[in-house]
Amino acid sequence: MAETHDRPPEQFTIRLRRYDPGSGEAAYWDEHTVELEPHRSVLEAILQARDRFDGSIGIRCSCRQAICGSCGVRVNGEPSLACHTHLDAAKQGADGGVIEIEPMGNMPVIKDLIVDMDAVHWKKIQRVTPWLLAKQPVPEREYLVSRESMVDVTQTMACIQCGACVSDCLAMEVDPGFIGPAALAKAYRFVGDPRDDQHFARLNDLAQDPQGIFDCTHCFKCVEACPKDVNPMGQIMRLRRVATADFHIVDRNNGERHEAAFAGLVKDNGLLWEAELLPRSYGGNSWFGKFHPAAAKEMLSSLPAILRALVRGKVTPMGALKPHKIPSADLKAVQGIYEKVDGREDRYELNLYVVGEDEEGPQAEGAPAAATAGATATTEHDGQAPAAPESPEGSADT
């Protein structure tokens, strides 16, 4: 580190996206060359350009140490905290060595690099009731909860509300009403909190909302964007899991049906049977699903695609009517796995954010289960506190 810090100042060229909606002028690029040590941050470069060359450059910042979440921008197209991005690294990833800095996406620009977080990000955060709706009666002193149940929500608590995930959300890009990664990660913060009394109501609300948990396209953009490893998409998947598996919420967006149909078809055939997946996602997870009015309506609306696929020989009627299967002995083995794992009352989840990775070298078999602290066995989530982590063998008496 010392060596890095000893490096003398160098010149860096930054290219800023400038825009003042009030001016009536179009957005434009503005280049400045600053002089700073390579380990300094992109934020420092912007501030130097503002101090030395143009006092009108708009940038929001406060703590300068990746805690306050104020200076979210796009550096070379990637969402980043300006204060947390070193100049040498940014230059390395820059086209032609010129570091490109733009405001975050999916939010309106107030000026230059400052976006309107209130209009999008904070509004969505408010949408999920981001506070504890405490179980009654509230204890006179503190709530007593298991350490493990709070460890489970620490990942979402690491969020600094910088909006980087919102900036790059691909679902929001086409559907601005999508509640989005930051707010849904925040929702899990309370759904996973044993002190909260409204787990069902929260989940039902977010599952039934057409722009809720089932509107996420699973693109991993938020996972990449987050500077704090919150894994918003992972939290959305956990919300889905708790909503469907524990609370049996059947939503009107086909989310639960799609999941049930997918898992069911793989259990029945070993492989996915796409021709059945679509109608069952609308009409319910059985062979009769396709005769449900909702499925019929969907098939009708897809007719232009289906007909062309048939004409082109892409899909044959027999191919659509008959599933492809794996050999029966293997199917039996797969079904055995379903029965053992899916049939177990407690789900066993491994969160690497909490557990971390093993040191090199395999652990001895039969090592104490405590080594997997952070693996949560989620019991039937009926508003009761989740069970403490248990042995991976599934025994409940650890």
Q: Contact between 321 and other proteins (CB under 8 A)?
A: no
Q: Contact between 220 and other proteins (CB under 8 A)?
A: yes
In this structure, the number of other CB atoms found within 10 A of the CB of residue 84 comes to: 19
Q: How many residues belong to the site for other proteins (CB under 8 A)?
A: 84
- Quick note: the x/- pattern for other proteins over 142-171, rule CB under 8 A, is ----------------------------xx
Q: Contact between 21 and other proteins (CB under 8 A)?
A: no
Q: Contact between 308 and other proteins (CB under 8 A)?
A: yes
- What is the C-alpha to C-alpha distance for residues 336 and 264, in angstroms, rounded to an integer? 13
Task: Please state the closest distance from residue 224 (CB atom) to other proteins, in A.
Answer: 5
CA angle centred on 176, ends 173 and 179, rounded to 5°: 110
Choosing from 2, 174, 300, 318, the residue that interacts with other proteins (CB under 8 A) is 174
Give, as ranges, the residues between 228 and 247 that touch other proteins (CB under 8 A). 237, 240-241, 244-245
Q: Contact between 124 and other proteins (CB under 8 A)?
A: no
Q: Contact between 210 and other proteins (CB under 8 A)?
A: yes
Between 151 and 266, CB nearer to other proteins: 266
Q: Contact between 392 and other proteins (CB under 8 A)?
A: yes
Sequence-separated contacts (24+) of 145-149 with Cβ below 8 Å: 145/194, 145/195, 145/385, 146/194, 146/385, 146/388, 148/373, 148/374, 148/376, 148/386, 148/388, 148/389, 149/192, 149/193, 149/194, 149/385, 149/386, 149/388
DSSP letter at 385?
P
Between 197 and 298, CB nearer to other proteins: 298
**Length of the chain, please?**
398
**Up-side HSE of residue 158: CA atoms within 13 Å toward CB?**
16
Q: Contact between 262 and other proteins (CB under 8 A)?
A: yes
- What is the C-alpha to C-alpha distance for residues 162 and 61, in angstroms, rounded to an integer? 11
Stretch touching other proteins by CB under 8 A, among 49-57, 108-116, 329-337, 382-390: 329-337
Q: Is 53 helix (H, G, I), strand (E, B) or coil?
A: coil
Query: How far lies 39's CA from each of 10, 44, 213, in Å?
Result: 10, 10, 40
Stretch touching other proteins by CB under 8 A, among 99-107, 145-153, 284-292, 355-363: 355-363
Stretch touching other proteins by CB under 8 A, among 1-9, 110-118, 182-190, 306-314: 306-314
- Quick note: the x/- pattern for other proteins over 269-288, rule CB under 8 A, is -xxxxxx-xx--xx------
